[in-house]
Amino acid sequence: MHFGPELLAKLYQLSPIEDLELAKSLARAGSLFLQDLSKMKKFSNVGYGRVPRVYVVCSEDKGIPEEFQRWMIENSGVTNVVEIKGADHMPMFSKTQE
């Protein structure tokens, strides 16, 4: 799997151009690990369930539509939701203060 420049531009569309360019220069080909993940045990409440989960909703995320973000929240046992209006997929760059 490779996040090419077109996809990265959508993930960083509100972030400083320097952060987008750095991401492009650091991007490397990877794997979805489909074969490895198909053999893994499912998460259990004993381990994974003990960790409090927080989800950050980014209203301008073009990588994961807000409707799907809300679906993930409803279906993953999230205990706290933080919303950052005007943030792209990379809120640590697009909305650093928030």
Q: What is the pLDDT along the chain (98 residues), one digit of tens a residue?
A: 566 788 899 999 999 999 999 999 988 877 666 667 677 777 777 777 788 889 999 999 999 999 999 999 999 889 899 999 999 999 999 999 99
- Two tokens, residue 59: 């209203």
Model pTM? 0.76
N- to C-terminal Cα separation, the chain: 31
- Two tokens, residue 27: 């991007």
Q: What pLDDT sits at residue 19?
A: 95
Q: What pLDDT sits at residue 27?
A: 84
Q: What pLDDT sits at residue 45?
A: 76
